[in-house]
Amino acid sequence: KTMISSIDKDNIDLEELKKHAKLLSEGKTVIFPTETVYGLGANALDEDAVKKIYEAKGRPSDNPLIVHIHEKEQVHELAKDVNDNAKIVMDRFWPGPITIILNKKDIVPKTTSGGLDTVAIRMPSHKIAKEIIKQSGVPIAAPSANISGRPSPTKAQHVKDEMEGRVSGIVLGGDSNFGLESTVLDLTSETPMILRPGSITKEDLESVLGKVELDPSLAKKEDNQKAKAPGMKYTHYSPDADVFIVSGSKDDVFNKVNELILINNENGLKTGVMCLEKNKHKYNGEVISLGSTLEEVASNLFNVLREMDKLKVDIIYSEEFEIAGIGQAIMNRLLKSAGYKIIKA
Q: How many CB atoms lie within 10 A of CB 265?
A: 13
Cβ 102 to ligand TXA shortest distance, Å: 9
Of residues 144 and 337, the one with the C-beta less far from Mg ion: 144
Of residues 198 and 272, the one with the C-beta less far from ligand TXA: 198
The residue within the footprint of ligand TXA, chosen from 23, 29, 30, 39 (CB under 6 A), is 39
Cβ 260 to ligand TXA shortest distance, Å: 32
CB-closest chain residue to ligand TXA: 231
**Does 96 participate in binding ligand TXA (rule CB under 6 A)?**
no
Is 152 annotated as a binding-site member?
yes
3-class secondary structure for the chain?
Answer: CCEEEECCCCCCCHHHHHHHHHHHHCCCCEEECCCCCCEEEEECCCHHHHHHHHHHHCCCCCCCCEEECCCHHHHHHHEECCCHHHHHHHHHHCCCCEEEEEEECCCCCHHHHCCCCEEEEECCCCHHHHHHHHHHCCCEECCECCCCCCCCCCCHHHHHHHHCCCCCEEEECCCCCCCCCCEEEECCCCCCEEEECCCCCHHHHHHHHCCCEECHHHCCCHHHHHCCCHHHHCCCCCCCCEEEEEECCHHHHHHHHHHHHHHHHHCCCCEEEEEEHHHHHHCCCEEEEEECCHHHHHHHHHHHHHHHHHCCCCEEEEECCCCCCCHHHHHHHHHHHCCCCEEEC
Please answer whether residues 231 and 217 qualify as being in contact, where contact means their C-beta atoms are separated by less than 8 angstroms.
no
**Does 101 participate in binding ligand TXA (rule CB under 6 A)?**
yes
**Does 313 participate in binding ligand TXA (rule CB under 6 A)?**
no
Q: How many residues bind ligand TXA (CB under 6 A)?
A: 29
Cβ 98 to ligand TXA shortest distance, Å: 9
The residue within the footprint of ligand TXA, chosen from 29, 111, 113, 299 (CB under 6 A), is 113
Tell me: cis bond preceding 216? Omega within 30 of 0 counts: no
Q: Which residues from 123-162 bind ligand TXA, rule CB under 6 A?
A: 142-144
What does the alpha-carbon distance between residue 65 and residue 121 come to, in Å, rounded to a whole number?
A: 9
Is 118 annotated as a binding-site member?
yes
- Residues of this chain that interact with Mg ion (CB under 5 A) are 144
Is 36 annotated as a binding-site member?
yes
**Does 176 participate in binding ligand TXA (rule CB under 6 A)?**
no
**Does 86 participate in binding ligand TXA (rule CB under 6 A)?**
no
The residue within the footprint of ligand TXA, chosen from 17, 21, 31, 37 (CB under 6 A), is 37
The residue within the footprint of ligand TXA, chosen from 4, 116, 269, 287 (CB under 6 A), is 116
**Does 23 participate in binding ligand TXA (rule CB under 6 A)?**
no
Q: List the single partner that 230 binds among ligand TXA, Mg ion, none, CB under 5 to 8 Å by kind.
A: ligand TXA
Q: List the single partner that 300 binds among Mg ion, ligand TXA, none, CB under 5 to 8 Å by kind.
A: none
**Does 231 participate in binding ligand TXA (rule CB under 6 A)?**
yes
The binding site for L-threonine comprises: 36, 68, 122, 142, 182
Positions touching ligand TXA (CB under 6 A) are: 34, 36-37, 39, 63-66, 99, 101, 113, 116, 118-120, 122, 142-144, 181-182, 184, 195-196, 228-232
